[in-house]
Structure 1
Amino acid sequence: MGMSDAVWQRHANPISGWTRVPVLPMLAMGIWSRIWLGWWALLPIAAILIWTWFNPRVFPIPASTDNWMSKGVLGERVWLNRNNISIPAHHARIAQILNALAGLGLIPFVVGLVQLDAWAVVGGTAIMMIAKLWFLDRMVWLFDDMKDKHVEYGRWLR
């Protein structure tokens, strides 16, 4: 997504994080709508994809990052920077497991959308969203563990 430091600061706004949570079900609905809208379904799909890119850029820098969602976003930033600044092994291990679980949820999600199987779509969506929110919760923990160990991370708090 090519996020600069300024974009990450804006994305740490909890409104940004919470308004991204429904993106996956909305994308599923957009893709499913092809049965009603035909090729016009590309419009809601495009709108959802544009929103996904635009979302971290639209909200102001938060007055406070002392909340679960902001710390989750900051933790994701720490996670993405793990090749430059090492993170504890237990955080890496569970994050990889949760990302793999989310990836497994992609299988019924895609199959369900191709075959128009609502149960597969709902099941895949649930697996991916639970894994993502659990991952986000672990990112809060990661951020809390790392903020005092590296000055740069501590500066992200407001």
Structure 2
Amino acid sequence: MTTERKISRFFNLTDSNWMKHANPWSVGTRYTVLPLIIIAFWSRIWLGWWFLIPAALSISWIFLNPVMFCKPKSTKNWASKAVMGERVYLNRDKVKIPPVHKTVLLPLLNIISSIGMGIAIWAIVEYSIWGAVIGTVLAYLGKSWYLDRMVWLYEDMKENHQEYLDWEY
């Protein structure tokens, strides 16, 4: 079982929920997660222990976001294809992906995102606006590039696998 499949189970991404997550609104609003968490934890200086309320809400958004939107009217867009590509990638232990997609780039992009997250966490502790900005930019740069590679993967795989092609409408 791939790590991505374990993560998708943790987020309750069933077939139906994957399609909800393929809604461009889900993908787009997912980019609000890190800034909301940063602001929520920074609010501890103004709210004291009451900061736990916005912190809990912002962390809840991580879990609610992928499943709270309805199935998209169309999946013929970048955001939907990125999510469908993630599904293809997590399924690579069952359906082989082309060698061109098995590069060091994907782990590298996840490392870039992780470094960005680390900087953002440091920025939360130190109240560093520049750390928060740089961390968020790095995290989202790595994630956005990763998603773009998932679109490419989906486009390469859909014509040879009816299940994948059926996701597009």
The TM-score range, normalised by the shorter chain, is over 0.9
User: Pairwise mapping of residues 47-86 of structure 1 onto structure 2 (< 5 A)?
Assistant: 47-86=57-96
Distance 1:107 1:60 in 2: 32
TM-score by length of 2: 0.87
TM-score by length of 1: 0.93
Greater shift after overlay, 87-96 or 74-83?
87-96
Matched, 1:115 2:126: yes
Which SS does the other structure have where 2:50 is aligned?
helix
Q: State the 1:107 CA deviation.
A: 2.3
Q: State the 1:38 CA deviation.
A: 1.5
Distance 1:68 1:157 in 2: 12
Count, aligned residues? 158
Matched, 1:142 2:142: no
Q: State the 1:67 CA deviation.
A: 0.5
Distance 2:31 2:155 in 1: 22
Indicate the RMSD between aligned Cα atoms, in angstroms: 1.3
User: Pairwise mapping of residues 1-158 of structure 1 onto structure 2 (< 5 A)?
Assistant: 1-93=11-103, 94-158=105-169
Q: State the 1:83 CA deviation.
A: 2.0
With over 3 angstroms needed to count, the CA separation of the structure-2 counterparts of 1:57 and 1:106, relative to structure 1, is closer
Q: State the 1:29 CA deviation.
A: 0.9
Structure 1's unaligned 5+ residue stretches are: none
